[in-house]
A and B are shown apart, each in its own frame.
Chain A
């Protein structure tokens, strides 16, 4: 299933495959680059491990290690929910 707006659906156990990263024009350039350089490239699968106490930054597991990011920072990613 391809989803347009993921951030609200995210909870622990949420698993998705990255199908694309929005182009630099749409997403903030720095954010897009940082996501890519941390290994969130198309084809990668990640899983939400836990949410922070106030529900916002989320911890995800990608390529075998843990990353913390804010919900809106996931927005440039195009996802396919697994």
Chain B
């Protein structure tokens, strides 16, 4: 991260969930910025911290449990922290401790002490200690560690003044040496390594502990030296050296704890009671499902209800508004089309996601702040490991049913890049709410009875394909050791609204900024395809679609149904567009264009635009519950249903078409976040994989449903389908094994 000013850097380090972010927000106020740290996707927040004499830069690092960075495979978080601490020369470290987990957290404190960077220890959540009637000897701890110790109640902003004062003092004086003395032989090993490797004491210690980062920088000679010391320590002391080092620290902690802490801090009765329910042998999974169901009720029904209105509003402003405005300026038709349908539509698509994203993120921020997430990971772990994924991966997949975009973004909570990749590739097959809208229109038109069963069937097929994809990917990405679960259970908290809101704000802003950059250019390309070629000629897309529809024959789409193909292409922007496109094309097909040509057109257009403005207002009042559903809306859907029935010749072809819509091409926004969270090559593979599977599955489905009509032909198609899936798998495997296309760098 490039720092524009040379302000001293103050860094917050501590366990996950120890309250760092709350302290960060309290100290920085509203000045925080999220920066990407050296190309990886873990966000490092930094903001200004004003002290009496000077302004410093405060940095909030992800939570870690140990300074030792164990392997490349391990969580990105610890990698970021480690890199930061070694390269950025923190001027002061604030080590935040959660008082209810003091023993293990002191281990991290001792490791930090060895770094020799000035440090302030902030003991957070002191109110929990008061509740259980125990006492912590802060002065004693301060003396032992050789650095100031400050009591805090971060959530109530207690103790911040003391913390600031101590940071200021620590900027001027260095830290005393670590209190830990290792057995003589280990000390000797550390000394030698320091001299030979020209490194600091803490680096030598981390080296002996097997730290991956430090080890990878050693020369051959140093490595030999290290292994010689490791084996001689092992031989003489009867224990391996890393165990000796850690054991020395814990022995020290054990010795000091009775002096430091009088009485045992109990985890709050509430946490115990809630855990008895949330982690219950039989109730655990039902409770998890209910919590996730709550996500849909809240995010999709309540907040997400605004999606249509926001979509309409932004369309009115950016697409229709641009058209009217440019026509008023007498701009050429092609320019109007590109600006309105390309750039305008891109902005419209990006912004349409805001309500659902807002709803989902708000709910997730609540769950994360409350401490339920680790419990969910614990409960779902065994089930997800059938797929080779950790329990945490269940949450992004579930969110996928609401919207694939936040689902892919939610994969960043997963520790290993492999898990993130697998989950991101599975998410697009979870049927999102936009696809549900398409299904319900078709179900209404073709399956008036039992429509819900058809939709449910599609959902199940989507889940099946996701599992199938996960299973294949797991075979391809030869899995090394799984990242260990080994998790702690933070106490339940009532989340702080300002922390939640800030988190939601960052995430939504991140989406708009980064996804918009990909969505708008892609939407521009699509607009070129639909550019009217001349007064009477059709756009390129329509002409191409008419000839390409033949390809959809095996899934029951006849040539006269070419609008179905156009619908699929325009559905790439966002799946819900499919219905709108089909509706328009079926209405205008074989009819002369009703728009008047020439002079009168602009006035008519403006009037239509104004009328749409009223419609937007209605949509909002409707979404907010201020008026009941409009009958025109229903009538519109009903007339659409009638028209659809003319073009699809049998139910099997409808079902296959819906299956195709479910599986094909992750929408532009999802694609944009896959590019961002995983990598560009994998996003492209996701497109080909999803579209290929959609084609194959839709054909297989149609042929199976109509097998009685033509047994031989169907059997041939089915064999072809199985063969092509297998070939797709072999191709992906070959690409992976040859290490081409940069497939191996992701995450």
Contact = CB atoms under 8 A, between A and B. Distances in A.
Answer yes or no: are A and B bound together in one complex: yes
B284 A52 contact: yes
A82 interface: no
In this complex, the member of A28, A31, A35, A65 whose beta carbon has the largest number of chain B beta carbons within 10 angstroms is A65
B284 A37 contact: no
A57 B488 contact: no
Interface range, B side? 35 or more
A30 B485 contact: no
A19 interface: no
Interface in A23-45: 23-24, 28-39, 41-42, 44
In this complex, the member of A29, A35, A56, A57 whose beta carbon has the largest number of chain B beta carbons within 10 angstroms is A57
B43 interface: no
Contacts of B74: 30
Nearest to A51: B281
B484 A31 contact: yes
Contacts of A66: 267, 488-489
Contact of B246 (A37, A57, A65, A73): A37
B135 to A, nearest CB: 16
Interface stretch (B65-73, B685-693, B705-713): B65-73
Q: Which 7 A-B pairs have the closest CB atoms?
A: A54-B382, A56-B382, A37-B66, A30-B70, A53-B284, A36-B246, A68-B487
B89 to A, nearest CB: 25
Nearest to A21: B243
Given A29-B210, A36-B242, A65 B488 contact: yes
A15 interface: no
B481 A28 contact: yes
Interface in B252-276: 264-265, 267
A12 to B, nearest CB: 9
A73 B486 contact: yes
A38 B486 contact: yes
B525 to A, nearest CB: 45
B247 A64 contact: no
A50 B279 contact: yes
A55 B107 CA distance: 30
Contacts of A38: 65, 104, 486, 488
A42 B244 CA distance: 10
Given A21-B243, A39-B250, A52 B486 contact: no
Given A37-B65, A39-B103, A57-B485, A52 B264 contact: no
B559 interface: no
A41 B66 CA distance: 15
Contacts of B101: 65
A33 B486 contact: no
A6 B240 CA distance: 23
Interface stretch (B179-187, B373-381, B648-656): B373-381
A35 B381 contact: no
B71 A55 contact: no
B484 A41 contact: no
Contacts, number: 123
Contact of A53 (B240, B264, B379, B489): B379
A81 interface: no
Nearest to A29: B210
26 contacts: A24-B242, A30-B71, A30-B74, A33-B66, A33-B209, A34-B486, A35-B486, A36-B243, A38-B104, A39-B107, A39-B250, A41-B250, A50-B279, A52-B379, A53-B281, A53-B282, A59-B489, A65-B101, A65-B103, A65-B489, A67-B489, A68-B378, A68-B487, A68-B488, A69-B486, A70-B484
B383 interface: yes
A70 to B, nearest CB: 5
Contacts of A64: 103, 264-265
B284 A34 contact: no
B285 interface: yes
A9 B336 CA distance: 73
B703 interface: no
Nearest to A31: B484
A54 B394 CA distance: 15
Contacts of A37: 65-66, 68, 104, 107, 246
A72 to B, nearest CB: 9
Given A36-B246, A41-B250, A63-B103, A30 B484 contact: yes
A73 B378 CA distance: 14
A39 B101 CA distance: 11
Given A31-B481, A41-B243, A69-B487, A52 B103 contact: no
Contacts of A70: 381, 484-485
B352 interface: no
A50 B281 contact: yes
A5 B284 CA distance: 28
B417 interface: no
Nearest to B101: A65
Given A39-B104, A66-B267, 12 more contacts: A24-B242, A29-B210, A30-B73, A31-B486, A34-B66, A36-B247, A39-B250, A52-B381, A53-B281, A67-B488, A68-B378, A68-B485
B556 interface: no
B285 A53 contact: yes
